[in-house]
A and B are shown apart, each in its own frame.
Chain A
Amino acid sequence: MELGVRVVQGIAYLVGLQFAGEFVSRQFHLPLPGNVIGLLFLVLALSAGWIRLEAIEEAADLLTSNLMLMLIPLSVGIIAVMELVKKEALSIIASTVLSTFLVMVVTGKVVDWVAGKGEEDARGN
């Protein structure tokens, strides 16, 4: 099969799974976003062999390597909430920066601690 045909077919699978995820999310009033449910469906379908990796690999790689492109229109939308952003710039930036460093330190320490309990020799350099 040609690359183009495979990519379109792969995207069809992904859109179908997204639809299934949205449906389940709304139908059962789940707090989980539909696209994340779709992601879990995909992992399940691949693990169970219902979908072959080759059938969607190229489409998936194409989409995930261009995420930045798809985010641009959302970021441009910041002009619609500019007043809010200007007024709360300090809290937005400060919470983002501090929280990022906190997550890093806590995650690192927890993994270090749990891994260290299991096997001491896992400690590299």
Chain B
Amino acid sequence: MQEVINTPVFGVAITIVGYTLAKELYRRIPLFLFNPLLLAPAGIILLLWASRTPLEAYNQGGQIISYFLGPATVALGVPLFRQLPLIRRQWRPILAGITAGSVVGVVSAVLIARVLGASTVTLLSVAAKSTTAPIAVGITEKLGGATAITAFVVAVTGILGGTLGPEVLRLARVKNRVARGISIGTASHAGGTSRAVQLGEVEGSMSGAAIVLTGTVTALIIPLLLWVF
């Protein structure tokens, strides 16, 4: 058994099994705590802990799977390309909102964490939290933060947008459909978009269009903003 654990097969296998099980469970019980992004890693961590398997052994296989985040990020160019005509039609409000949202996202996350006494590594790891996970991970790697923290806060951000997004917008009296969609997508990427889709077709497609745009804009402005601090 020990020999198998020390080959990449182990990490690849338990990641795929964990993912499949967590997705199936969430499909049956769609409680936010059962979100596969939280449940699958938690299950794997428990398994590693119970079997006293070091993280390095798991990572031999884990790395193979997470490598695909690179080409998957490039692949996000496809939805962006498909949405270009939609974006072009109302590019002024869309671009204005996404730029404002990206700046506020980075500045507020870093400032709040700093006021509460977070270390530099943590600041660099939460800066990209509103962007879609693969882009956020790319940004954090470039900044020198901890990608594991980024993966966690990005998941929390998505769950927040998906559960409370429409309520927050109602309280803030944002009524324009385009504004609601862009807002949810900019703040909480695909996690929020899954809920925006239920609000209506305009909200859903706008939220989807905002995901990749926000990631790109944030990647562009983050070095500038952090340089200012």
Contacts and interface: CB of A to CB of B under 8 A. Distances in A.
B146 to A, nearest CB: 5
Contact of A100 (B63, B81, B116, B157): B157
Contact of B148 (A42, A77, A124, A125): A77
Main SS class of interface, A: helix
Interface string B40-51: 110011001100
Classify chain A: how many residues form its interface, as a range.
Answer: 35 or more
A55 B104 CA distance: 38
B119 interface: yes
B69 interface: yes
B101 to A, nearest CB: 3
A114 B168 contact: no
Contacts of A17: 71, 74
B37 A71 contact: yes
A85 to B, nearest CB: 7
Contacts of A43: 77, 80-81, 84
Given A91-B112, A95-B113, A112-B179, A75 B92 contact: no
Given A72-B44, A84-B122, A99-B109, A35 B188 contact: no
Interface in B62-101: 62-63, 65-66, 68-81, 84, 90, 92-94, 96-98, 100-101
Given A36-B73, A91-B118, A111-B97, A105 B78 contact: no
Interface in A72-101: 72-81, 84-85, 88, 90-101
24 contacts: A15-B70, A18-B74, A32-B142, A32-B219, A33-B219, A35-B69, A39-B216, A43-B81, A60-B77, A72-B19, A75-B155, A84-B119, A84-B149, A88-B113, A92-B153, A95-B129, A100-B129, A103-B183, A103-B186, A104-B101, A105-B169, A108-B176, A110-B96, A122-B178
Interface of A: 11, 14-15, 17-18, 21, 31-36, 38-43, 46-47, 53, 56-57, 59-61, 63-64, 66-81, 84-85, 88, 90-112, 114-116, 118, 122-125
Give 4 nearest A-B pairs by CB, closest first.
Answer: A73-B62, A42-B77, A33-B138, A31-B223
